[in-house]
Amino acid sequence: MNPIKLKENVYWVGEIDWDLRNFHGYLTQRGTTYNAYLILDEKITLIDTVRPYLYDRMMQRLSRLIDPSRIHYIVSNHVEMDHSGSLPLLMETAKNATIITSPHGQKGLLAHYKRNDWNVKVVKTDETVSIGRKSMKFVLTPLVHWPDNMVSYLVEDNILFSNDAFGQHIASSERFDDDYPLDISVDEAKKYYANIVLPYSSQVQKAMDALSPLAISMIAPSHGIVWRSHVNAIVAEYKKWSSNKVENRCLVIYDTMWKSTEKIAYGIQEVFESMGIPTKMMNLRKNHISDIIADILTAKFICVGSPTLNSNMLPTVAGFLTYLRGLSPKNRIGLAFGSYGWGGQAVGHVEDILKECGFQMLQGIQVQYIPDNAQLQEIGNTLKQEILGVGGSSVS
């Protein structure tokens, strides 16, 4: 319940959501935090808030530092309700506070909370606001990942309050990257990027360019741990992820009815592995789509299999493909496969969606009923040639 000091007069006053396991469809096995930050200066400044059900706890935490009615500025970096959700409650206490937000933030807050009586100061990129001895600079980062997004920079302390960017869904009492296992933090940041930020990769690159003149010694995101010892490393990861650069890896993602599509799936795995391409099997009944997307972030070959059910693909596969299409990863090579009894429409449907994703497609694989060893051998030989045709064994 204590505030945690980031730097002199700068504190984390957010909340830990230990129980959260699903964030609008994203599986959050490790829970999350909603990070709010308090800067003690002549004009006391709060950066973002928490979900309303954690409001009381946030207020208890920050009341250990100040009387909340003295908050002068509330920076709303992002309208999404995990960060702005407590504003209506907070504004009842900090009645004279001014909300600092982007132009889209102003519209978004009004649309969400229908309050015309709040003091709102709209800022634009590179605008600086003095809060006393220190000053805040703002950079609009539209569509990373909502139109209203902006980041805030505490000039004298070189802290970037990056909101969702660089965040991770991790609930922990540790607050800093050097207190918590780095591999988990980076993996969760990768999963976060893949599931939330990926469609906006070109906007991420623009935002990184806009931020490049700033000296950043600490990145304080709105979820998870604060980066202070590995700032360059996480920035490098963001540059890689936003560039859509992929590794020579393969994912075989499938569901199966009577194990025939699964037999083809394992046949495909054998071919890729025989060519030295690491391949991961991802049965849609055993893996959550948000975990699969994290792997897709860096994999070049995406093979998707479904048997035909009622002239279509299985609902698990359809759900996954709908999610994938929305996240629109680029520069992938796709393959559709599956078994069928009669009709056999599933592979065509899968292929159509992978094409809509912009994937370069390998020749689809279909087998009626149960594939035997001779059929799998033939499929393997053809597939090998296809992979060589796209430079598969030497692509990196």
Looking at 37-45, 75-83, 122-130, 289-297, which segment touches ligand FEO (CB under 6 A)?
A: 75-83
b/e map of 144-166 (b: 16 or more CB within 10 Å)? bbbebbbbbbbeeeebbbbbbbb
Structure tokens at 30: 């490790």
Looking at 9-17, 78-86, 113-121, 351-359, which segment touches ligand FEO (CB under 6 A)?
A: 78-86
Residue 30 lies near ligand FEO (rule: CB under 6 A): no
80 is catalytic: yes
Figure out which of the listed residues 222, 242, 248, 269 binds ligand FEO, where binding follows CB under 6 A. Answer: 222
Site size toward ligand FEO, by CB under 6 A: 8
82 is catalytic: yes
Q: Which of 15, 41, 48, 80 is catalytic?
A: 80
Find the angle CA(290)-CA(294)-CA(297) to the nearest 5 degrees: 135
Q: If you ran DSSP here, which 8-state letter would residue 338 be given?
A: E
- Residues numbered 176 to 215 that lie near ligand FEO (CB under 6 A) are none
Residue 230 lies near ligand FEO (rule: CB under 6 A): no
Looking at 80-88, 202-210, 286-294, 386-394, which segment touches ligand FEO (CB under 6 A)?
A: 80-88
Looking at 61-69, 76-84, 104-112, 341-349, which segment touches ligand FEO (CB under 6 A)?
A: 76-84
Residue 82 lies near ligand FEO (rule: CB under 6 A): yes
Report the candidate in 225, 170, 191 with the shortest Cα–Cα distance to residue 295: 191
Quick one: 396 exposed, middle or buried, by C-beta within 10 A (0-12, 13-18, 19+)?
A: exposed
Structure tokens at 341: 């009894």
CA 348 vs CA 41, 86, 336, 343: distances in Å: 62, 47, 8, 11
Cβ-closest residue to ligand FEO? 80
Figure out which of the listed residues 78, 134, 169, 191 binds ligand FEO, where binding follows CB under 6 A. Answer: 78
- Residues numbered 150 to 179 that lie near ligand FEO (CB under 6 A) are 164
Taking the alpha carbons of 289, 290, 291, 295 in that order, is the dihedral positive or negative?
positive
Asked whether the beta carbons of 370 and 339 are under 8 A apart, the reply is: yes
Looking at 77-85, 174-182, 199-207, 377-385, which segment touches ligand FEO (CB under 6 A)?
A: 77-85
Nearer to ligand FEO, 84 or 339 (CB): 84
Nearer to ligand FEO, 219 or 253 (CB): 219
Nearer to ligand FEO, 168 or 260 (CB): 168
Nearer to ligand FEO, 43 or 145 (CB): 145
Query: In angstroms, what is the minimal distance from the CB of 93 to ligand FEO?
Result: 23
Residue 63 to residue 3: CA distance in whole angstroms: 9
183 is catalytic: no
Nearer to ligand FEO, 91 or 165 (CB): 165
192 is catalytic: yes
Long-range contacts of 269-272 (CB under 8 A, 24+ apart): 270/380, 271/380, 271/383, 271/384, 271/387, 272/301, 272/387, 272/392
145 is catalytic: yes
Residue 184 to residue 174: CA distance in whole angstroms: 13
Chain CA centroid to CA 105, Å = 20
24 is catalytic: yes
Figure out which of the listed residues 80, 148, 177, 255 binds ligand FEO, where binding follows CB under 6 A. Answer: 80
Query: In angstroms, what is the minimal distance from the CB of 79 to ligand FEO?
Result: 8
Query: In angstroms, what is the minimal distance from the CB of 63 to ligand FEO?
Result: 24
Query: In angstroms, what is the minimal distance from the CB of 121 to ligand FEO?
Result: 22
Residue 297 to residue 241: CA distance in whole angstroms: 7
Q: Which residue has the tokens 């920035």?
A: 235
Structure tokens at 189: 């940041």
DSSP labels, 1-57 = ---EEEETTEEE--EEETT--EETTEE-TT-EEE--EEE-SSS-EEE----GGGHHH
188 is catalytic: no
Report the candidate in 89, 325, 93, 285 with the shortest Cα–Cα distance to residue 198: 325
Chain residues that interact with ligand FEO, rule: CB under 6 A: 78, 80, 82-83, 145, 164, 222-223
Catalytic amino acids? 24, 78, 80, 82, 145, 164, 192, 223
